[in-house]
Structure 1
């Protein structure tokens, strides 16, 4: 009886069938989502969008550079909002990170889930939503923006920090513990020195992000450049809008450069 050689296949017939069925479901889901998104779309506006964009773009140039002096104080407010909000976020996030890390939490059954919930909750709510809530509670102004930035920063800093704490070298911790050190001394001499480079890198990186977010919180009444941007949009002062956007762009570029230099110097 002649035996035919078996041919090698990357996937079995059942696996290929399951793969094709998965792609079919994905395409069907995409079609359904597209129908949901476009069910209320007025396509006349879509076809007219390029002309409208070109019209607004022509009104935005040249930028009104004489408006720059009026942006200096809002720019300073934006930088202060980002800096103080980052400091608030760090103060709140560091204890949460130590409670969330497996190797430093005093209670893995109670405190660690609570800390992880705080981190997830902070990351789930955008800074604009925090600012909307705080403006409604505290009224418009920089304080609402600072607290919004701080609350938003807890999740980012806390998550990266507790991961850095869990990745510490256990041998250094065991060496300090073997000397008879107390838990506070182990924390101070074995864990903290290992996470300090990550701590400063995360803090500076978050400060850089917070500058971008602070620039638009004024849209909901939290002060800064966003307040001027909202006023210019409401009055259709398009050259002023261009000037504000250029100031925001320049600020973000400078903050990105400072953040990169500081992180390279630390790490």
Structure 2
């Protein structure tokens, strides 16, 4: 007698029991985190209920916008903000390029140098721009110099990390060909890596400048120069029509910077 194979209908299961348990644990942790956050955050119900009335009153005091206040200190502060963002980005590029070259394993195959470079990049990104600004205000005093250097030190981690990743993603063929001809390290970087990473480099720089324009508008709140100082001064003096003008200027400059970046990318890339 020939043994007959019994076939059973197979049932498709999207997740294994282990995966379902893991998903349930993640959902539970997420819910517990939300509940704990709600319990920890001190929300005063009276202020929450009164918020729409206060918002309407604030908007009423902001209108009409004080356009006559633009010439003078506010205009100068706006220009100063753009200068801070631009100079901070340029300084960051100068400091980030060596770190980006050192962090790339294929270009600098030295673990000690890679670790030091990676430590610099992580340190730059882990400290917020406002904290950098407070640190440099303590060193250089209040003003745009502290804000410019804060922007530069904050930007090193961003530019250096993405530049290092672009170098590591470069095609090894041209580099191997240049190495076989006995080319120097500088020639390998200039003719092997640079043509491949140039689009990524300019994209990184333009994106960082766009981010720095936004951040430089906020650094003035802690005394690091720019239009943020004018905003802080107007709020302290309850000049809400000036506050509305400054907020509108910040919004406008961010939009203009976005347009400039988009056109620059099309031109350079």
Q: Report the TM range for the smaller structure's normalisation.
A: over 0.9
Encode CA deviations 1:163-206: one digit per residue, 9 max, x unaligned: 11111110111111122212222122111222222212211211
CA distance in 1, matches of 2:89, 2:26: 44
CA distance in 2, matches of 1:131, 1:15: 45
CA distance in 2, matches of 1:79, 1:15: 51
CA distance in 2, matches of 1:23, 1:106: 42
Alpha-carbon spacing, 1:169–1:141, altered in 2? closer, same or farther (3 Å): same
Determine which of 173, 176, 180 is the counterpart of 2:175.
173
CA distance in 1, matches of 2:211, 2:7: 66
Alpha-carbon spacing, 1:14–1:85, altered in 2? closer, same or farther (3 Å): closer
Equivalent residues in 2 for 1:115-264 (5 A)?
115-264=117-266
Counterpart position of 1:66: 68
CA distance in 2, matches of 1:105, 1:140: 39
Counterpart position of 2:33: 29
- Over the residues paired in the alignment, what is the CA RMSD in angstroms? 1.8
Determine which of 41, 44, 48 is the counterpart of 1:42.
44
Alpha-carbon spacing, 1:209–1:4, altered in 2? closer, same or farther (3 Å): closer
Q: Structure 2 unaligned runs (5+)?
A: none
Length, aligned pairs only: 264
CA distance in 2, matches of 1:13, 1:107: 44
Counterpart position of 1:9: 13
CA distance in 1, matches of 2:252, 2:147: 21
CA distance in 1, matches of 2:78, 2:67: 15
CA distance in 1, matches of 2:207, 2:161: 14
Equivalent residues in 2 for 1:100-119 (5 A)?
100-105=103-108, 107-108=110-111, 110-119=112-121
1:78 and 2:81 equivalent?
Answer: yes
TM-score by length of 2: 0.92
Determine which of 72, 95, 111 is the counterpart of 1:92.
95
TM-score by length of 1: 0.93
SS at 2:108 equivalent: coil
CA distance in 1, matches of 2:7, 2:194: 68
